[in-house]
Amino acid sequence: MKKVGKKSLIGGILALSLILGGTGYAYWTDTLNITTKATTGEFGMKFVDLGLYAQYSDEINTDGAKGWSIVDGIDKGYVESDFFERGTQYNKIAKDGSIEKYKERQKGYSNTEFDAKLKDAAPLKKQVGPYNSANTNGSDRIDIKINEMYPGYAQAFRSDLLNVGSIAAKLGNMKFTVSSKDRDASTVKDMLGIALYMH
Work out the pLDDT band at 56, boundaries 50, 70, 90: low
Give residue 58's identity as a one-letter amino acid code. D
pLDDT tens readout for residues 142-189: 998 888 877 777 788 888 888 888 888 877 777 778 777 766 777 777
Residue 49 has pLDDT above 70, yes or no: yes
Residues 6+ apart with CB under 8 A from 89: 95
Q: What is the pLDDT of residues 118-149, one digit of tens each?
A: 999 999 988 888 888 888 899 989 998 888 87
Give the global pTM. Answer: 0.68
Our CA angle for 136, 70, 146, nearest 5°, is 65
CB-CB contact of 93 with 135 (8 Å): no
Residues 6+ apart with CB under 8 A from 60: 54, 67, 81, 82, 85
How does pLDDT run across 16-46, given as a tens digit for each residue?
Answer: 565 656 655 555 566 778 888 888 888 888 9
pLDDT of residue 100: 92
CA 153 – CA 74 distance, rounded (Å): 11
Instruction: Provide the percentage of residues in the chain whose pLDDT is more than 70.
Output: 73
The C-alpha atoms of residue 99 and residue 160 are separated, in whole angstroms, by 21
Contact, 160 vs 49, CB < 8 A? Answer: yes
**Is pLDDT above 80 for 193?**
no
The mean-pLDDT minimum among 7-16, 82-91, 172-181 falls in 7-16
CB 68, CB 155: distance < 8 Å: no
The sign of the torsion formed by the CA atoms of 101, 197, 139, 127 equals negative
- Measured CA to CA, the distance from residue 100 to residue 86 in angstroms comes to 14
123: which residues sit within 8 A by CB, 6+ positions away? 133, 134, 136, 137, 138
Residue 116 has pLDDT above 70, yes or no: yes
- Please report, for the chain, the start and end positions of each structural domain, with discontinuous segments joined by +: 43-199
